[in-house]
Amino acid sequence: MYSHSVTLEQTKCIGCTDCIKRCPTEAIRVRGSKAKIIEDRCIDCGNCIRICRNGAKRAVTDDIDMIQKYKYRIALPAPSFYAQFPKAKNIEQILSTLYKIGFTDILEVGCAAEVITKHTNEYVQTAKNFPIISSSCPAIVRLIQRRFPSLIHHVLPIISPMELAARYIKIQYLEKGILENEIGVFFISPCPAKATEIHRPKGLDRSYVDGVLSMQDIYKMMIYKMNTNQNIDVKRQSSYKGLSWAMHNGGLDENTIKSHIAVDGMESVIGILEKVEDGTLSNVQYIEALACTGGCLGGALALENPFISRYTLKKWIEEDLAKGICSNEKLIQEIASLPYAFNKDITPRPVFSLDRDMQKALTMMEDIETLYKQLPKIDCGSCGAPTCRCFAEDVVKQDAKIEECVFMLRKRIQDLSEVMHNLTQTVIPTHNDNNRKE
């Protein structure tokens, strides 16, 4: 079991430092010409995967062979998954190909998304602690835990569609008398943060998802098995309502909640969260915040260009509307009858914690400030830390040496040469000095 999905392939890393500045939690350092991820800080957002031109960062997900461990192999395809197949005849064709690669059952996550949208609207209408911040993107919840801990009480205390779908389908099988170890529930994910989520679920003591499979891996298996002549005998469970979840504003009924902001892309989200922190947005009811640009369609494990994905989904939404395809209302009602609220608090996990001993932490803080004042404050990154402040922190925590900063190294050399020069002037007697004494 892995605690983080995003990992580094050391041999591919050339230590270029491109990734260190784009990590939203300052979790990357370059030391000895190789990047290193500080695990406690990483939120598995996948930003560094997109940035690294050398392919040195990658997302680890479960191996597809894992499904063979189970007699009942249930796929949970997210709406964003369908968008990876712009040439598919329809969504039914995609679903039927999932059976061909070994799954025995499917539950469309879109069904649970429809239910979560309804619960979200109800919650926001009665909430007092505005703005409510969406909780479906695990990278954003982790960002709040680490960088904006004062905003934790704004997070929507409702589980994700993935979790609700997994809970529903597993309970269905258990109620038929099937043993839990025979049931494997697999989410097909566009994002590394979901892969970590099932091992450390937020707001929950356990996840009902048994494995997270990469969208890219499943796509590669499916694309050769899809053909236009295949028999399609699969019925849709969700409709346009579930499909829209994968797009900007998907988790929101705009007719009910008028005062809202939908923001995507890590840097834009951070900008909005800073505004929430300073109280500027207290009149906004709901903020849907997604780590990837383009929402789940832009996830690091998605293959298709997010703009094309959006176009594809829109096309299918229009087709659903034109054909009058409706969700399976009985199924939706059954899912809606399940518990959907967090059963565990989300706790702050601040990035900047120096020591458990308060006195020691204060002393370290003073040392950091003193050192920071001496640094050039240009955040050049050549020391391998994203900012001069981070570098000062690393030095005080003894994770870096002061000489790793080229400016400090130059200053040290200058100081040293001055000392040497003074010494030669005052201490070592010259030949002439000796002659004079005689």
Of 18 and 114, CB closest to ligand SF4: 18
The Cα–Cα gap between 281 and 310 comes to 28
CB atoms within 10 A of CB 272: 19
Question: Which residues, in sequence order, are bridge partners of residue 34?
Answer: 31
Q: Is 126 exposed, middle or buried (0-12, 13-18, 19+ CB in 10 A)?
A: exposed
Q: Which amino acid is at 22?
A: R
Sequence-ordered list of residues with C-beta below 8 angstroms from that of 348, at least 6 positions apart, any chain: 145, 149, 152
Query: b or e along 184-200 (b: 16 or more beta carbons within 10 Å of the residue's beta carbon)?
Result: bbbbbbbbbbbbbbbee
Of 25 and 97, CB closest to ligand SF4: 25
Q: How far is the CB of 215 from ligand SF4 (least distance, A)?
A: 17
Q: Is 320 exposed, middle or buried (0-12, 13-18, 19+ CB in 10 A)?
A: buried
Q: How far is the CB of 50 from ligand SF4 (least distance, A)?
A: 9
Q: How far is the CB of 51 from ligand SF4 (least distance, A)?
A: 6
Of 24 and 306, CB closest to ligand SF4: 24
User: Residues in the site for ligand SF4, rule: CB under 6 A?
Assistant: 6, 8, 13-19, 23-25, 27-28, 30, 35, 37, 42-48, 51-52, 54, 56-57
Q: Are strands 34-37 and 28-31 parallel, antiparallel or unpaired?
A: antiparallel
CB atoms within 10 A of CB 315: 12
Q: How far is the CB of 409 from ligand SF4 (least distance, A)?
A: 21
Of 56 and 185, CB closest to ligand SF4: 56
Q: How far is the CB of 380 from ligand SF4 (least distance, A)?
A: 15
The Cα–Cα gap between 84 and 65 comes to 22
Of 216 and 256, CB closest to ligand SF4: 216
Q: How far is the CB of 193 from ligand SF4 (least distance, A)?
A: 8
Of 151 and 222, CB closest to ligand SF4: 151
Distance of CA 253 to the CA centre of its chain: 24
Q: How far is the CB of 402 from ligand SF4 (least distance, A)?
A: 22
Of 131 and 294, CB closest to ligand SF4: 294
